[in-house]
């Protein structure tokens, strides 16, 4: 993992489950189901990669790199770089939706299983690939987490290129939000048919090589229109992502505040360490997050008014993902190629609370 600064920049540019689980629609997770059998396949599927659905291009790239003996973290970061540099994806990197002041602030963290090292950056501005800055923190410093102006200064010293991340499209989305979010401000409201966009994204990617080495990374532009300086779970090792080379890796997308409180990625990996399959571990983490959710964000049946998704991969190549509600997909690439598969879930989409939702409840 030792690289010169020039090589680095060059490479960068180029608690058990309760009865509720058993009786919900997440029955697809059971070992005797087709989904359970597929996800139970192990070592012959390695190298393998799992990520959020917006990483479908990235998982293919990461697996191809590992077939050429690439390091799992290098492969995973190359995978998420595709999304970070895509201006049409408004949940990460270039084109990410800004904070309430119109400034794009990015978060990312990564872990390298073989060396047990980690790196992270929070609220970094003007750098499109925070995942690579997080890796630079890991590779070149004795620290794990740099934030704000210090993180940007470090990135520039490492040779990263400064650029304006607020694209014209993202700026227009922000202006629509600004005009509509407060009826008493001095901004003219848009027509009723204007839909204000909120990010529900982020990208998490976890990779395991043919030999069982593991890497994980999560990167995001964070909760859209957030208070400046807000850092979500993506930058927090153990919450947004976590990797243990003896067990596996996990990460999340969705409401970061709900995930931080349970150290969700660490929780998933520990569940796998204790014998749970990746999918079972993700479902258990969702249940724990709901248990720790404040009353304003759930209805009378304890159904959350937000989304949260976990992704996990085991050392032997098994994988899984689970969302609170049905209908979501995740990306995976293994011996059967790159594809989208349905997430396991706790509740049917029809059970999601309706009516007014706190503005930030749905986004990271």
Write the pLDDT tens digit of every residue in 120-155: 999 999 999 999 999 999 999 999 999 999 999 999
CB atoms within 10 A of CB 211: 13
Cis peptide before 47 (omega within 30 of 0): yes
Radius of gyration over alpha carbons of the chain, in Å? 19
CB atoms within 10 A of CB 98: 24
| Residue 191 pLDDT grade (very low, low, confident, very high; cuts 50, 70, 90) | low
Are β-strands 145-147 and 117-124 bridged in parallel, bridged antiparallel, or unpaired? Answer: parallel
* Domain assignments of the chain as residue spans, ordered by start: 24-166+198-351
Between the CA of residue 344 and those of 30, 264, 299, 317, 328, what are the distances in Å? 10, 17, 22, 18, 8
Both tokens assigned to 30? 């059971």
Tell me if residue 202 is catalytic. yes
Please state the pTM of the whole predicted model. Answer: 0.83
Q: What is the CATH number of domain 24-166+198-351?
A: 3.60.20.30
pLDDT, position 182: 57
pLDDT, position 340: 98
| Residue 195 pLDDT grade (very low, low, confident, very high; cuts 50, 70, 90) | low
- Segment 159-174 shows an average pLDDT of 84
Residue among 83, 202, 218, 219 flagged as catalytic? 202
pLDDT, position 204: 97
């Amino acid at each position: 993992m030792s690289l010169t600064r020039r090589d680095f920049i060059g490479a960068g540019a180029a608690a058990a489950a309760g009865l509720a689980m058993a009786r919900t629609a997440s029955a697809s997770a059971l070992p005797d189901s087709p989904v359970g059998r597929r996800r139970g396949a192990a070592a012959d599927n390695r190298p393998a990669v799992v990520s959020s659905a917006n990483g479908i291009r990235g998982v293919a790239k990461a697996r191809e790199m590992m077939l050429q003996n690439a390091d799992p973290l290098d492969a995973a970061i190359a995978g998420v770089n595709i999304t970070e540099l895509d201006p049409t994806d408004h949940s990460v990197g270039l084109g990410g939706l800004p904070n309430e002041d119109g400034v794009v602030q990015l978060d990312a963290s990564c872990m390298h299983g073989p060396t047990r090292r980690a790196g992270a950056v929070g609220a970094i501005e003007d750098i499109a690939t925070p995942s690579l800055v997080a890796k630079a923190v890991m590779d070149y410093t004795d620290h794990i987490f740099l934030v704000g102006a210090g993180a940007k200064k470090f990135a520039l010293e490492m040779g990263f290129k400064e650029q304006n991340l607020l694209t014209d499209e993202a700026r227009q989305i922000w202006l629509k939000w600004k005009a509509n979010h407060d009826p008493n401000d001095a901004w003219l409201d848009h027509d009723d048919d204007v839909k204000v966009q909120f990010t529900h994204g982020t990208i998490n990617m976890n990779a395991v090589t043919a030999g069982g080495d593991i890497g994980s990374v999560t990167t995001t532009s964070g909760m859209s229109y957030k208070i400046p300086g807000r850092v979500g779970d993506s930058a927090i090792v153990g919450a947004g992502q976590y990797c243990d080379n003896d067990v596996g890796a996990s990460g999340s997308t969705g409401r970061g505040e709900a995930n931080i409180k349970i150290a969700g990625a660490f929780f998933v990996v520990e569940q796998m360490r204790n014998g749970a399959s990746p999918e079972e571990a993700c479902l258990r983490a969702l249940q724990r997050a709901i248990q720790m959710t404040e009353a304003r964000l759930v209805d009378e049946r304890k159904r959350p008014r937000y989304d949260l998704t976990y992704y996990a991969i085991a050392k032997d190549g098994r994988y899984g993902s689970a969302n609170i509600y049905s209908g979501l997909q995740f990306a995976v690439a293994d011996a059967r190629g790159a594809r989208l598969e349905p997430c396991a879930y706790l509740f049917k989409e029809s059970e999601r609370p309706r009516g007014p939702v706190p503005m930030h409840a749905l986004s990271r």
